[in-house]
Structure 1
Amino acid sequence: MLKVEVMKVNKSTKRVQLIDGLRGFSLAGIILANMLIFQYGILGESEPKLFGIEGADLAFHSFLFIAVVGSFMPIFAYMFGFGIVKLSDSLQARDLRPKCHLARRFLLLIGIGMLHATFLWEGDILTFYGATGFFLLLFLNRKPKTLLVWSVLLLTVMGAIGMVPVNLEESTAESSSHTRSYIMQSRDVYGSGTYLEIMNFRNHAAMFSEEESSVMLVGILFAPILIAPMFLLGMRAAKRGTFDNPQTMHRTYAQRAAIFIALGLILKAFSVLAPRFFTGTLPGLGLGDLLGGTLLALGYIYAFALLYTTVRRFSLLQNFEAVGKLSLTNYLLQTVICTTIFYGYGLGLFGRAGVFVGAVIVLAVYAVQLWLSPLYLKRFKTGPVEKVLRIWTYLSWKGQPRKPRKDLTLPEERGQAS
């Protein structure tokens, strides 16, 4: 009996290590993708010519859009869905109400996200994740098969939309005069402005014209549908125990990683490179953005999980795990550090460092997090932002769920019930 309990503990520990590692790994890709926004703005990242990006730097820009951009944030979404189910199971085991606790958690995420977007950076994802969490509550008690069906259905819809023919001449045409004007203003303000000037520009400057705003509103309304499959697949993985015992899943991880990485890279490469080599109207150009990023993210997830099936664990994995345990704190710190590096109130490298050098800079920032996170966890059990989130979720200053309710029935009554 003791041996069985020890085996269960080992499996649970291994699973937690893998999940924490995945979170930490995803933050490496997230900071690399976000570098384009930190340095060129949320609109400027897709307009390299306006910043004089060409040659090798332009090639590296294309590489990032194929291999990184849009393929690491979905990993975070996957782990978000996974975490929802695991937290729900933990609360149910303590005879607590999962949806009530999760709702409080989502509300605080929205609050943190709004502060993040207002005072630091326009690329925040926490507000979106918190709002999406309320939608995911509808699927909390659904069976894994139901989650899979909905995921496949939504991915099919995305694929169908991505197959709509696109006029390459129109898609490669220069952006609107309003967009170009906004990007040029942002280059000046973000590159040399004070903190207050940048915050005022971010919160009040008109990013889109009235016509463009209507189109963007439709896109925002449909955004949850585009990312929902990864949330749902993460929830399904938690219910199915996909990562409970990595050693027995070696072949499955390897097969899925190979298939999804290949499909994702092909679709994304086609969407990024096709406009440079073809003319006229071409179907499937949207598959890279709508479907390729999700498939590539799944491939990365299984490829990373494959590392945990090796007999000898890499010491670097433990550093990834430490970063993952502090994922929310590290995500916000990335914003604080990188905006200070690229914005005018810091080093003022906005639009000046170049794509490759910018990547080196942010990867150096992540390397510091890889080094410091394990050191931090030797002294503290959780990160400061994670601690606040736990306190609010459980309404406890200790950040711990209350103990299960005591069974008040008499011993003989329990015997009769059994």
Structure 2
Amino acid sequence: MDALRGSALLLILLVNVAFFSSGFAFHLVDDPAHGVLDRLVAGAVELLFAMKAYLLFSFLFGYSFTLQLDSAARRRAAFGPSFRRRLAGLFVLGAVHAVLLFHGDILTTYALLGLVLLAVRRIEPRTALVAAAAIVGVVAFAVGVAAVLGATLVPDEAAALAAGARSTEALRGGLGTVVLEHLHSLPAMLGGLSVQGPLAFAAFLVGLAAGKHRMLAAVHTHENLLRRCEQVGYPVGLAGATVFAIGGGTENLTGLLVSIVTAPFLAAAYAATLLRMFTRWPRVADVLAPAGRLALTNYLGQSLLCLLVFTGVGLGLAGRTSPAGTLLIALAIFAVQVAVSSWWMRRFRYGPVEWALRAWTHRKRPAMRR
């Protein structure tokens, strides 16, 4: 599970880095300075990872929730109060993250959805899967109705391009200017959560169902299920992702509708392939697992490093790197995190942010050194 979480961290970074490197992405328009090759690279990221990466991460949140439930049961400890403290700490971290580092924060959303997950923790696995499918269906129906009624996410492209140029310039400013840009972007970010939030919770429920069956505890016993996920997930998911990418990604409601329905299939196929790979080549899992163990620290660390690379707080490269160059920077950041995570976990039990959140959750200082 840690290796799978580490993989999800990489996929999330590959999607999020575009929002650090340019203000145009947040306004759902292409940078006019980008050429055909740049658009192909950005389109490939949309096709392969957008709308898929956070579903995989959300699935693991739901799965980890069941492990926390079991841990509390073994210790005969009250789960509700400690988990609510954990969510409160997660919300505060997310709020600080959204203002100082990245306006596309997901932690605050997870914290709020975690309260709902806590309320339905006794749900049966089959019921959880049905509920997840129903949530996806309702969101898809709502987006479909909006598309039929002629709604658009970019009503004025010229205004969006001007806003993108302004945002890019703001990102190249100092910390105060960057924070103001983040605050200015928060209303639009909250609007986007009307789709992302329910879909993330649907993935929570799928993770909850998988966790109650302990599916990741003995992956090799589910080989047939993993193969079916690949056989169905790749054709359906890639077909939908192609429509999504050709349609302009999240700026097109029709493409968004198709992605809402098909992205879970591709995310499931990715998970199945990764799990089978980790079973066949455990050394790969050994390399990625430490990064997954430090997922919260690394998620925040990615934002900090991107802030230092792309904004005026550091190198000020926003708007000055191509999509291909941006992806190479993201891969370099993740490679550094993998190496540092491995070094850290050989010496310490928790990542620094994980340690602080655990201390807050349980109201005691956990042992840090191994």
What is the Cα deviation at residue 166 of structure 1? 4.0
Corresponding residue of 2:20: 38
TM superposition outliers: structure 1 runs of 4+ over 6 Å: 167-170
Return closer, same or farther for 1:186/1:295 CA change in 2, 3 Å cut-off. Answer: same
For the 8 Å contact 1:147–1:232, the answer to whether it is kept is yes
Secondary structure of 2:12 counterpart? helix
Corresponding residue of 2:223: 250
Comparing 334-343 with 244-253, greater Cα deviation is found at 244-253
Corresponding residue of 1:69: 50
Return closer, same or farther for 1:386/1:20 CA change in 2, 3 Å cut-off. Answer: same
Corresponding residue of 1:104: 85
Return closer, same or farther for 1:290/1:399 CA change in 2, 3 Å cut-off. Answer: farther
For the 8 Å contact 2:24–2:168, the answer to whether it is kept is no
**For residues 169 and 146 of structure 1, what CA distance do their matches in structure 2 show?**
35
Comparing 224-233 with 322-331, greater Cα deviation is found at 224-233
For the 8 Å contact 1:329–1:384, the answer to whether it is kept is yes
What is the Cα deviation at residue 338 of structure 1? 1.0
Output the TM-score relative to the length of structure 2. 0.91
1:324 and 2:292 matched: yes
Cα displacement string for residues 301-337 of structure 1 (whole angstroms, at most 9, x for unaligned residues) = 1111112332xx3423212101000000011111111
Return closer, same or farther for 1:286/1:161 CA change in 2, 3 Å cut-off. Answer: farther
1:265 and 2:244 matched: no
Structure 2 unaligned spans of 5+:
none
Q: Which residue of 305, 312, 325 maps to 1:344?
A: 312
**For residues 100 and 369 of structure 1, what CA distance do their matches in structure 2 show?**
33
| Identical amino acids, percent of aligned pairs | 25
Output the TM-score relative to the length of structure 1. 0.81
Comparing 354-363 with 37-46, greater Cα deviation is found at 37-46
**For residues 34 and 343 of structure 2, what CA distance do their matches in structure 1 show?**
39
Q: How does 1:33-182 map to 2 (within 5 A)?
A: 33-41=15-23, 43-44=25-26, 46-50=28-32, 52-161=33-142, 163-164=144-145, 166=147, 175-176=156-157, 178-182=159-163
Return closer, same or farther for 1:283/1:68 CA change in 2, 3 Å cut-off. Answer: closer
**For residues 253 and 104 of structure 2, what CA distance do their matches in structure 1 show?**
30
User: What amino acid is the match of 2:307?
Assistant: T
**For residues 332 and 207 of structure 1, what CA distance do their matches in structure 2 show?**
18
Return closer, same or farther for 1:70/1:221 CA change in 2, 3 Å cut-off. Answer: closer
User: What amino acid is the match of 1:323?
Assistant: A
**For residues 153 and 207 of structure 1, what CA distance do their matches in structure 2 show?**
28
**For residues 185 and 41 of structure 1, what CA distance do their matches in structure 2 show?**
7
**For residues 224 and 354 of structure 1, what CA distance do their matches in structure 2 show?**
30
Aligned residues: 366
Comparing 318-327 with 174-183, greater Cα deviation is found at 174-183
**For residues 207 and 390 of structure 1, what CA distance do their matches in structure 2 show?**
28
Q: How does 1:280-319 map to 2 (within 5 A)?
A: 285-310=255-280, 313-319=281-287
User: What amino acid is the match of 1:27?
Assistant: L
What is the Cα deviation at residue 169 of structure 1? 9.7
Return closer, same or farther for 1:62/1:295 CA change in 2, 3 Å cut-off. Answer: same
**For residues 375 and 67 of structure 1, what CA distance do their matches in structure 2 show?**
31
Corresponding residue of 2:175: 195
Structure 1 unaligned spans of 5+:
1-18, 277-281, 401-418
What is the Cα deviation at residue 295 of structure 1? 2.3
Superposition CA RMSD, Å: 2.7
What is the Cα deviation at residue 261 of structure 1? 2.5
User: What amino acid is the match of 1:39?
Assistant: S
Corresponding residue of 1:5: none
For the 8 Å contact 2:136–2:198, the answer to whether it is kept is no
Return closer, same or farther for 1:202/1:82 CA change in 2, 3 Å cut-off. Answer: same
Whose radius of gyration is greater, 1 or 2? 1
